[in-house]
Amino acid sequence: MDQDILRFRIVVLISTAFIILGFVLSYLLWGHNRLPFGWDTPYYIVESRVAATQGFAGLLAVQGPYNFLYQLCSGLLVWSGISPFTVQIFLPIGISALLPYLLSRIARIEPDLKLATVVALATPGWYAVYIIVALPANLLGLVLILAAVPFFYKSNSIRHPMCVVGLVLVGLASFSHIESTLFFVAIMAIASLAFSAVPRSIALVTAAAALPASVLYALHLVQLFALTSYSLPVYSLEPFWFWLEIFGPLLPIAAYGLMTSMTGRRSPLKIFIIVWTLCSLLIGISQYFNAQTYIFAIRAAAIIPAPILAAVGFIRLRSWANTGRHDLIGLRNVRKWVLMTAFITLIIAWPVTYWVAAYQNERVYLTTSAAQRLQWISGNMKFTTTPIFIYDDLDELAGGNGNLFNNWVGAIVGQHLAYLGRVDYLVQVHETPFSNTASRLISALFMKQIYGSGITNRTSLLEHPIIIVEDFYNPYPLPTYFAGFFHQVYDGVFQSNSTSLQTLDNITLPMSSSLVNSQGPWYTIRRSWAQSIYSLEANVSSASTDLEASVLAAIPADGTYALNLRYWDGTGNNLQVVLDRTTIGALQYSGTDLPSIKSFTGLHLTAGVHSLTVKVDKNGSGLQYAALDYLAINRS
């Protein structure tokens, strides 16, 4: 056997083995309760179970006709008798193990086996390997696209058998993860139209292969964003070192590879990786100009082709080192040491990138206590009607966490309904108001399922047991004003008392966890006097600080209401209470050092969401102080 081929195969095998062993180590270090890694993983457990029990039609009814291929494949394994949890542990690892070979196949677009060998050598140092395993549908889509690319570059017409195989792979990828597919379809189009790296006919049919899935996904997005007034969620932007993590130790060699690719002779492969790199960079940077592109930005940035760039850079360094045979001994030694340093960097990138990426991303997104509680519910609680699980958290966290927890409930407990927000609003079959886009979206989706189950009033609602798990509800312990409506059936697991919930008419908002906007140094602290368990407080000696705290209150129906604000009656400047930009009264301290309630009565409110803001006066040199417990809304 040719030594180059043997060397190539050995490197692919070693790189693949390292990736697999890395995941094994991660599960030994951070795994628990035999649960799989990944934020989205419980969602795929639920859908693979649906595919296994209800078939393809059942899966489409739940998922919709887009991004379903991974669930279908994993569902087939579940149908064969394998546990869905086992499938979601091992299937993503098996798919990710293909990456060294697939990236090296792309490198073999050029007849340079040494380049392909170095690509395989650099792949375990690729940041994407260790984060995309937590996004298995994305991973499957990426693998299918990477498998398709060489077929297009080895075809000269759309009738070529290799082109047909590539089109089939693109079509499959588009139904696994359409966003990843469109990203690479765009790369192919740019490489073809701008640089003629691929025949235009092939680029056009590649786009056509992804068109059906694109249309179906676009229709889904329109329906989804209609629930949030066509706005996308906004997330915190990635810091500068995010880009260092993406490249890791490969950065200097990859940067050199990109530079030499752009300045030297541009082969079809180099055009492809240049366009791929620039697209990843531009989309990744877009988050700093429009935060609504965040999700697309970080995922495009994460799959920047660092291994191929590093391989190109290393081969060029190797060529440079070999051209200096007639140089002075000192210069030859410099060239030799530069090449050796580059090689060592490729190897060091393996453990460094693994540890950085795995430590951040490879974990079970469920606490041990929550897993044990859900497993207890699954094994011990029998429901005659579908239970409703409630999730609640701070405004900016409620949507993401609620969706995650709901997926875990579906994966471990099984069929259920979900509600995001306060018990008070649920009893009135009304959405809890949120300011954050993701929270509003998830709340609307959960409420749509409740309505779709025939629950339209309190009577039909209370036919269903309402479950609270302490890990999923903020504030916890349960506020005293509604704790009596639930009884504890297991440590940290509470079930509703339907009879007593019939009497719950007020809406009570804990100020600490209902906060949607604030100015100044507000903080949350547990207080024995607070019936909501935690108090929202501010304590500033300077009278020049703006101190404001706002919450949202949803009014179910037009009418006359009273607002009751519970607070600690200490000493400080007065508080102004503003409802929808209109001051409705002031709160004056009496200095009793006791909890007190300030009532604002006779307020005519229309149905809908209203904003209530508490402002601390800046008069004189007095102390700016506030300690707020809850806001109770009573209909007169």
In single-letter form, the type of residue at position 128 comes to: A
Per-residue pLDDT band at 224 (split at 50, 70, 90) = confident
In the prediction, which pLDDT does 308 show?
Answer: 96
CA nearest neighbour of 565 among 605, 539, 536: 536
Pairing state of beta strands 594-605 and 559-569? antiparallel
pLDDT tens readout for residues 482-528 = 889 999 999 999 999 999 999 998 999 999 999 999 999 999 999 99
Q: Are 55 and 132 members of one domain?
A: yes
Give strand ranges (E) for 581-622: 582-587, 594-605, 608-616
Pairing state of beta strands 493-496 and 608-616? unpaired
Mean pLDDT for 351-373 is 94
Strand order in the sheet with 466-473: 417-420, 388-392, 466-473, 493-496, 486-490
Q: Are 170 and 46 members of one domain?
A: yes
Number of structural domains the chain divides into? 3
Per-residue pLDDT band at 327 (split at 50, 70, 90) = low
pLDDT of 1 strictly over 60: no
Q: Are 28 and 133 members of one domain?
A: yes
pLDDT tens readout for residues 283-317 = 999 988 888 888 888 999 999 999 999 999 999 99
Q: Are 315 and 418 members of one domain?
A: no
Q: Report whether 535 contacts 629 (CB < 8 A).
A: yes
Residue where a domain terminates, one of 303, 332, 361: 361
Q: Are 355 and 373 members of one domain?
A: no
Residue 465: other Cβ atoms inside 10 A:
19
CA nearest neighbour of 273 among 225, 307, 236, 319: 307
Q: Mean of the per-residue pLDDT values for the chain?
A: 92
pLDDT of 437 strictly over 80: yes
User: Which residues are paired to 582 by β-bridges?
Assistant: 579
Lowest model confidence (mean pLDDT) among 1-15, 218-232, 361-375, 563-577 = 218-232
Q: Are 439 and 347 members of one domain?
A: no
One DSSP character per residue, 198-249 reads S-HHHHHHHHHHHHHHHHHHHHHHHHHHHTTTT-----PPP-THHHHHHHGG
For the CA atoms of the chain, what is the radius of gyration? 29
Q: Are 258 and 302 members of one domain?
A: yes
**Distance, CA of 132 to CA of 241 (rounded, Å):** 19
In the prediction, which pLDDT does 147 show?
Answer: 97
pLDDT tens readout for residues 444-481 = 999 999 999 999 999 999 999 999 999 999 889 999 99
Residue where a domain terminates, one of 487, 504, 521: 504
Q: Are 300 and 221 members of one domain?
A: yes
**Distance, CA of 110 to CA of 150 (rounded, Å):** 10
Contacts of 557 (CB under 8 A, 6+ apart): 607
In the prediction, which pLDDT does 123 show?
Answer: 97
Mean pLDDT for 533-544 is 87
In the prediction, which pLDDT does 195 show?
Answer: 87
One DSSP character per residue, 532-570 reads TSEEEEEEES-TT---EEEEEEEESSSEEEEEEEEEEE-
Residue where a domain terminates, one of 361, 382, 405: 361
In the prediction, which pLDDT does 234 show?
Answer: 66
In the prediction, which pLDDT does 470 show?
Answer: 96
pLDDT tens readout for residues 51-61 = 999 999 999 99
**Distance, CA of 501 to CA of 498 (rounded, Å):** 5
pLDDT of 543 strictly over 80: no
Q: State the CATH number of the domain containing residue 622.
A: 2.60.120.260
**Distance, CA of 462 to CA of 294 (rounded, Å):** 40
Q: Are 465 and 517 members of one domain?
A: no
Range of the domain at 620: 509-635
| CA angle, 164 then 165 then 168, to 5° | 90
Q: Are 534 and 492 members of one domain?
A: no
In the prediction, which pLDDT does 546 show?
Answer: 87
In the prediction, which pLDDT does 326 show?
Answer: 55
In the prediction, which pLDDT does 418 show?
Answer: 98
Q: Are 252 and 386 members of one domain?
A: no
pLDDT tens readout for residues 554-593 = 998 999 999 999 999 998 889 999 999 999 999 999 999 9
Q: Are 173 and 295 members of one domain?
A: yes
pLDDT of 174 strictly over 80: yes
pLDDT tens readout for residues 65-116 = 989 999 999 999 999 999 999 999 999 999 999 999 999 999 999 888 999 9
Q: Report whether 220 contacts 212 (CB < 8 A).
A: no
